[in-house]
A and B are shown apart, each in its own frame.
Chain A
Amino acid sequence: MTAGSDKTVKLRDYRSAHWDEPIIMEMSVPGERGVYVPLAEPEVEGLVGSDADAFIPAGMRRTQPPALPELSQHQVLRHYLRLSQQTMGMDLASDISEGTCTMKYSPKVHDELCRSPQMAELHPFQDDETLQGALQILWEFRTILCAISGLDEVSLHGGGGAHAAFTNAAVVRAYHQSRGELAQRDEFITTMFSHPCDAAAPATAGFKVVTLMPDEMGYPPLEQVKAAVSERTAGIMITNPEDTGIYNPHIDTIVDLVHEAGGIAYTDQANANSVLGIARARDAGFDACHFNLHKTFSSPHACAGPATGAYCCTDELAPFLPVPVTTFDGRTYHLDYDRPQSIGKVREFYGNVPVVLRALAWCLSLGPRGLREVSEISVLNNNYLMKKLLEIEGVSMPYDEKRRLDQVRFSLQQLKEDTGIGCHEFQERQIDFGVQSVWTSHHPFVVPEPFTPEPCETYSLEDLDYWAETAARVCREAREDPDLVRNAPYNQPIAKMTGLEALEDHDTWAMTWRAYKRKHGLAGP
C-alpha cells in the first residue's frame, strides 16, 4: 500500500507483555500486610472502650473475616503493574480501531490538575463559598456548550452518555406530564443507527420505542418518519451523523415533523467530533442534545468511566432539569435546588467535576479556531483512511450515500464470501500488529461483517497509513493463508480463549473467584 507520508509502512513485530500472573486470591500468604490503617488512640479507647463490637447490634457483627488476599505492598503493586502492562490502552497503541468511541488524546496536564487537592479533596456538600473554583468550572463549561450547541441551558450531572440520554427521556416525560399529555404521548422514535441508549433510555423511562430502519441511502426515508410520528409521539432521539458516518440531510425536516406532532426533538451528539463550529443542534431545530465529555472533549475513557454526558436544552425544557443547577450572579457561583418543576435527580451530587475540568481546559487550549480545526482534521483523517481502506480487496462501504464525516462502517462481506474470514477473525488477527481490537458494530449487525474505525484528530498521517496497512495485511493473509488468520491472535498476553459455552451457562460461568471455586470443585472445606 502506498503511504501518504514519505515513510514506507513497516508493520511492527509487536509482542504484548506476558507475565503469566495468577489470580490475586491465589497469591495470598497468611499474615502479610499491604498497608496499615490508623488505630484509635488510647484516649479514644479510654472514653469509648476498646471493643468496637460493643457498638454494633449483636446480630450485625462480622464473625467470619472476608477471604481477601493477604499480601505485602510491593507484591500487590507488582501484580497490578504487570496487569497494566497487559492492557494496551490508547496512550500506547492506535485506538483508531475503536470507532464510535472517539478515542482522542487526553492531555496530561489535565490529569495533573485533577489530582491536586483543590480538586481531588473536595466534598460536594461543602458550602458554595468554598467551592467557587469548582462551580466556576461548571459554569464556564456550560457557557461553552451553549455556544457549541446553540441551546440555552446545560446539565452536567450525567455520569455517561447513556445517562444524558436517560436524562432527556425523564425531562421529556416531565414536560409532557406538566402539560397533561403524558398518558397520550407514550412513544419515542429513534433510528437503528443511533446509539442503543437512544432506544434503551426512553424504554427504561417507561416509553414504547419505534425504531426506523435505513433505506438504500443509509438513513430512514422521510415517508417512514412521517408514518411514525403521531399524537402519541413524546419525542425523537436520533444520532447525526450516525454510526455509519452518514449525515442525514433531511434532519431539520425530521425535527419539523416531530414538532408538528407535538414531540420533543433530541440529538445524541455523544460523538460531536465532526461538527464543532460546523453545525449546531439548535440550527437544525433540536430542543435538546448531549455531548460525551469523555469522547469529543478529551476526558480519558478510563476503563469505561468516570465520564460525563452533558445534556443541553432550550429554555422551555430547562425548568425540568435535575437539581441542583449551577448559577452565577455576576460575582459568585451558586447551586440552585429551588426548582419546583425539576425531575429531581439522576445522579448523586452534581456530576463528575474533574471530567468537566478536563473538557474546559481542552476547549481553552483550542479556542474557537482550534475547535473547528479538531472537526476539520477528524473528517479529513477519516476521508483519507476511507480512501486507503477501500483500495483493499474485500472491503466495501455499504449504502448509496458515499460521503462520510467522522467515521465509516465498512463491511468485510466480500472477504467473508471469498475466504471465510469475517470481521471477528479480522479483529483477532489485526491486533497482532499492535493496534487495538477494531470495533465491529452495535447490535444488531445491519451491515454484514462490519468494522468501524474512527481516526480522530489525534492521529498523524503515519498512524493512518499504519492502520490501513494492518488491515491490508490481514485481508491479504485471509486470501493466502486463512488458517493463519483464523488461529490468531499470536502475540497477546494470553493464548486463545476456549470454553466459550460458559458465557451462557449458569453451571460454569463465574463472575467471582468464589463462584469459580465452587462451580469447578476447588472450594475448600
Chain B
Amino acid sequence: MSDEFFVHPYIPNSVPETKRRMLEEIGKESALDIYEPIPERLRFKGALDVPGPIHSEAELRRHMQGILAKNASCAENLSFLGGGTWQHSVPAAVDEVANRAEFVSAYDGLYYTDMGKQQVKFEWASQLGELLDLEGVGLAFYDWGTVTGLSLRMASRITGRNHVLLPDTLSPERLAITRTLCGPEEMPASIRVELVGHDPATGQIDLDDLRAKVSDETAAVYIENPGFLGSIEGQAEEIGRIAHEHGAQFVVGVDPISLGVLRSPGSCGADIACGDVQSLGVHMSCGGGLGGFIAFRDDDPVYASECPLILFTILPTEKEGEFAFAEMMEERTSYGLRDKGKDWVGTGAGLWMVAGAVYMSLMGPQGFREVGETIVKRAHYAARRLADIPGVSIRFGDGFFKEFVVDFGGTGTTVADINAALRERGIFGGYDLSRHFPDLGQSALYCVTELHTKNDLDALAAAVREIVA
C-alpha cells in the first residue's frame, strides 16, 4: 500500500491492520502487487496534481459553502428566467420523499428488493399518462432536448422516412440537440431537419408553410405546446390532421404543468408526446433538475417497440390482488441489443420520477387546474404592466401560458443593459433572445409562475419603467 498512514472515513479498510490481514489472506505483499496486470510502462509514476485533502467534514462544508456563497440565487433575487427550466413551487412533502436515503441511493435493484421504487415509477408514469391522455410512458431520461430528438428518431423508424418538420420558434437548445441526434446530412442514416415558419402575429405555426413542406417523405411533424416563445399552439388538432394525411407521426412537446388548463397532447391526436418533468416538483439546480419523458399511443405495439427508453409494465404476483413491476420488451434497448438496439438508454433522471409522482399526487386535478389558472392570470398581468411602459411591447398577442416575449425595441435600450440594471435591483430579467432570434430585435423571454406575487410583478414593472425612462 502507499507508504503514509491514512485512514479515511469513507474507506473502512484503509485501517493498516485490516489491509495487512487482507493482503496476507490473498498472499500479496502490497496492493501494488495486485496491479501487476497493468504493464509498468502504462503506470502513472507521479502524484496527481489535485488539491486536498480537506480532512474534516466541517472544514469541507465551510470550504464548499464559501464557493456557493459566490452565487446569487433565485431565492433571494426575483427571477423571470425560464426557457427550459422554471422556478415553480416544490411542496415540502415532495422534497421529504425525494430526499429519502432509500431512493437517493438506489440504482438497479431488481423487482423484489427495489419493488417500492418500481411502484413509484409506475405511479409516475400512470399520473403523467393521465395528464397527457396517453397510455404508454417510458422512464425519464436526460432532458426535453434529448427526448425531442429521440422521439423524432422513433417516428423515423416507425415510418421508414428521414425528414422531420419542427417550428422555427423552437428552443435553440432543443433544436441544437435535435440536430446532433439527427446527424449531418452526408451520413446515410441521417434525418433531415427542416423548420416551419410562424405567424408573426400569434407565434403559432404558419399552416401554409407547413402544407408546403410536409410530404409523403415526412416522418414527423413536431410542435410544442406551449412553445418556447410562450405561444399556445391553437391549431394543434389541425396540424396533427395534416401530419396524418401524409402518413407522418404527430409529435407534441409539452410542459406538463400546463395540463390542468391546456388540452392534452393525446386528445389533440398526438402519436408521441415528449417534454420535461422539472416543472413537476423539481428544483432548477442550475439545469440539474431536468428530466425528459416520452409518452405514446399504446393501441399499436409499434410505439413501444420503437421507443428507446426503459419501459415497465405492471404484473400480478402469486398473491391475489398484489402487483409487481418489471421491465418489458427489454431486448429492444441498447442494453439488450447493443448497436442493434433502439438508439441508446442509460442512467438519466430517475429521482425526478420520485419527485414527480409525489407532486402529481399532492396536486390532483384541482391543483393542476388552479396552478394553471394562477400562472396564466399572473403572466398576463405582468405582460400588461410591462406593455404600459413607453417603448415596451408584447410580441405574438395574448395567447400565452407562462412565458411571453417582451420587446424593448422602442426603448432604445438593449436587453443586456436592462438586465444589468435589473440585477442591481435584485431582479433577474428575462432571457435575452437577441442572439438566437435576431429578427425579434431587442426582445427577452419573460417567465411568470405561481411563485410571483402581484407585488413582485409590480416591482418588475416599476424597475423596468425606471430603467428605460
Cβ of B381 under 8 Å from chain A: yes
Partner of B366, one of A70, A460, A463, A499: A70
Q: Do A85 and B286 touch (CB < 8 A)?
A: no
For residue B54, which residue of chain A has the nearest CB?
Answer: A364
**Residue A376 CB within 8 A of the other chain:** yes
A45 to B454, CA, bound (A): 10
Point out the residues of chain B lying under 8 angstroms from A148, CB to CB: 48, 50
Given A87-B116, A122-B285: A376 touches B102 (CB 8 Å cut-off) = no
| Chain A nearest CB, measured from B229 CB (Å) | 15
A227 contacts B by Cβ under 8 Å: no
Contact among A53, A159, A307, A436 with B109 in the assembled complex (CB-CB below 8 Å):
A436
Interface flags for A72-102 (1: CB within 8 Å of B; 0: not) read: 0100110111111111111111010010010
| A/B interface sample: 25 pairs, CB < 8 A | A35-B367, A59-B235, A70-B366, A119-B71, A122-B71, A140-B51, A148-B50, A163-B142, A196-B338, A197-B346, A247-B37, A304-B107, A305-B142, A305-B351, A306-B288, A347-B177, A348-B173, A360-B64, A403-B36, A427-B110, A492-B112, A496-B317, A503-B315, A506-B298, A512-B125
Q: How far is the CA of A175 from the CA of B343 in the complex (A)?
A: 22
Interface string of B101-141 (1 = CB under 8 A from A): 11111111111111111011111011111110101111111
Interface hub of B123, B183, B285, B431 (most chain A Cβ within 10 A): B285
Answer yes or no: B159 CB below 8 A from chain A CBs.
Answer: no
Q: Is B313 a contact of A509 with CB atoms below 8 Å?
A: yes
Quick check: B113 and A124 within 8 Å, CB to CB?
no
Within the complex, what minimum Cβ distance (angstroms) separates A39 from chain B? Answer: 6
Q: When the two chains form their complex, are residues A84 and B102 in contact, meaning their CB atoms are under 8 A apart?
A: yes
A124 to B283, CA, bound (A): 12
Contact size range, B: 35 or more
B302 to chain A, nearest CB (A): 10
B380 near A55 with CB under 8 A, answer yes
Contact B51 A514 (CB under 8 A): no
Among B6, B10, B450, which residue has its beta carbon within 8 angstroms of that of A457? B10
A302-B351 contact in complex given A23-B323, A82-B116, A498-B318, C-beta closer than 8 Å: yes
Q: Is A111 an interface residue (CB 8 A)?
A: yes
Give chain A interface residues in 205-227, CB to chain B under 8 Å. Answer: 205-206, 209, 211
Chain A residues near B89 (CB-CB < 8 A): 37-38
Across the interface, do A305 and B51 meet the contact criterion of CB distance under 8 Å?
no
1/0 per residue, CB under 8 A from A, across B201-236: the answer is 000000000000000000000000100000011111
Total A-B residue pairs with C-beta atoms closer than 8 Å?
762
Q: Is A11 an interface residue (CB 8 A)?
A: no
Question: Does A278 lie within 8 Å of B137, measured CB to CB?
Answer: no
CA distance A73 to B362 in the complex (A): 6
User: Any chain A CB within 8 A of the CB of B22?
Assistant: yes
Contacts of B73 in A (CB 8 A): 117-118, 120-122
Q: Specify which chain B residues have a CB less than 8 angstroms from the CB of A437 in the assembled complex.
A: 109-110, 112-113
Given the complex, which residues of A lie within 8 Å of B83, measured CB to CB? 125
**Which residues from chain B contact A369 at a C-beta distance below 8 Å?**
2, 4, 6, 47, 53
Given contacts A123-B428, A132-B70, contact A443 B336 (CB under 8 A): yes
Q: Assess whether B365 is in contact with A70, with CB atoms less than 8 Å apart.
A: yes
Question: Given contacts A68-B360, A369-B4, is CB(A124)–CB(B284) below 8 Å?
Answer: yes
Which of A59, A137, A161 contacts B263 (CB under 8 A)?
A59
Stretch of B243-251, B370-378, B405-413 on the interface side: B370-378
One of A257-265, A377-385, A413-421, A475-483 contacting the partner: A377-385
Whole-angstrom CA separation of A298 from B60 in the bound complex: 15
Whether A43 lies near B119 (C-beta < 8 A) is no
Choose among B1, B63, B186, B235 the residue that contacts A376 (Cβ–Cβ < 8 A): B1
